[in-house]
Amino acid sequence: MKTSAFLYPWDVVGDPDAPARVVDLGVRQVTLASAYHSTRALTPRHPRHRVVTAEHAAVLYPVDEERWADAELRPYAAGDWAPGDAYGEAAAALADAGLDVRTWVVLAHNSRLGAENPGVCVVNAYGDRYPWAPCVARPAVRTYVVSLAAEAAVRPGAAGTELESLGWYGLAHLHAHDKIGGVPLDEAAQYLMSLCFCSVCRAGYHSLGLDADELNAAVRRALEPLWSGGRGTGGGGGWAAVEKLLGADLAAATLDWRLRTARTLQEATVAAVRAAAEPGFQVLLHADPHPHRTGANAGVEPAHILGVADGVVLPCTGGAAEAMLTPFAAHRRESTVLAANFTVVKGMGGSPDTLADDAAHARSLGATELRLYHAGLASDADLSAVKAALSGLG
């Protein structure tokens, strides 16, 4: 199976041994970040540093100033964690080692963008804004996402891209010194706390025959048991729980608005990337087959998204492979990419020691490729386990 390892530019720049180390794993492709959110990352083998702090979401290459000259929203340049054309420098070193390089682009997730432009953020039923979550219904955000994807995905030498967070972002977010775990939120509560009530979304609900104020009140009523000490929403898990809490018709209407919004943005974004790229450029989305879910792996309708993009990258760690892959396998074509993404860093909940069995199981469910998260973050022991696993795969 074709296997790609995720990397950041700072894993490679300044470490002349990094490309050969990746090749030695047994992979022939790297998914290299070109636009990424804020993070604090370990670099356990780098000769100059051990921790990299990316203070805000940024592009990791010089932007085209002409493209962004009149834009209402624009990407931020990286600081000293990825100066200049860090992506380009890392990509060139990896390509020189014989590796195929694909871009990794984070789109609708940008805390600095939201902090500096609060009017573009998701607004929950209580009026709280989520600065990490630009609302993808807002015209300025949609323009930004499409433009960023076209630029950050199609970098020199890249043969394809993986687009992350191309859809709704919600409450779930590992914020600095996060303190929201005191009240457990099940999947239904996460959905309700992620519904947006900004002016554009309120108008969107109205266009579907909903009264936004009545919907807002219904969401608050459904969530009230949590704040008074209840465990979860009492509705169980999954979409059926949302229907139980809001009523099937009201729940369906909220999802209809969100799906219409996400679908059209995904279509426009993929089209813009293809227009900017050479023929044959591969476009994949990080996705989840449950349309109501939010986050880095955007909830999508499998049949629709496989008619738009060349395939998907799916989070399969922790026994999730069947739930992730089966809905997409039913709609795949001969050329469709279904990439099973496994965390291979033990310290982050991964299981590099079981990668061979996990990969074989994923292949039996329809996976055509593997993704390894994350070669730069993994310990030497993790990488040794990955190498052993890949050596046994056909």
What element of type H or E holds 53? strand 51-54
> Phi first, then psi: what are they for 198, rounded to 5°?
-70, 170
On whether residue 255 sits in a domain, the answer given is no
On whether residue 100 sits in a domain, the answer given is yes
**Residues 169-227: pLDDT tens digits?**
999 877 776 777 788 889 999 999 999 999 999 999 999 999 999 999 999 999 998 88
Strand residues in 270-386 grouped as ranges (E)? 282-288, 298-299, 311-315, 337-343, 369-373
Task: Pick the more confident residue, 232 or 315.
Answer: 315
pLDDT band at 35 (very low <50, low <70, confident <90, very high): very high
On whether residue 300 sits in a domain, the answer given is yes
Helix, strand, coil content of the chain in percent (nearest 5) = 40, 20, 40
The Cα diameter of the chain in Å comes to 60
Tokens of 321: 């492979």
Rg, C-alpha atoms of the chain? 21
First-to-final CA distance of the chain = 6
Mean pLDDT of 160-165: 98
Please spell the DSSP secondary structure of 60-106, one letter per residue.
SS---HHHHTT-SS-PPBP-TTS-SSHHHHHHHHHHHTT-EEEEEEE
Return the pLDDT at 233: 55
On whether residue 99 sits in a domain, the answer given is yes
On whether residue 299 sits in a domain, the answer given is yes
Tokens of 323: 């739930």
On whether residue 189 sits in a domain, the answer given is no
On whether residue 250 sits in a domain, the answer given is no
Domain region containing 311: 2-122+133-178+261-391
Return the pLDDT at 174: 72
Res. 237: pLDDT tops 80: no
Tokens of 265: 């943005």
On whether residue 231 sits in a domain, the answer given is no
Tokens of 320: 């999730």
Return the pLDDT at 93: 98
Domain count, the chain: 1
> Phi first, then psi: what are they for 5, rounded to 5°?
-105, 135
Return the pLDDT at 231: 57
**Residues 361-389: pLDDT tens digits?**
999 999 999 999 999 999 999 999 999 99
| Beta-carbon contacts of residue 124 (< 8 Å; ≥ 6 apart) | 130, 171, 193, 194, 195, 196, 197
Mean pLDDT of 341-359: 97
CB neighbour burial string for 310-327, b if at least 16 within 10 angstroms, e if fewer: bbbbbbbbeeebeebbeb
Q: Which residue has the tokens 């995904």?
A: 266
The CATH code of the domain that includes 108 is 3.20.20.80
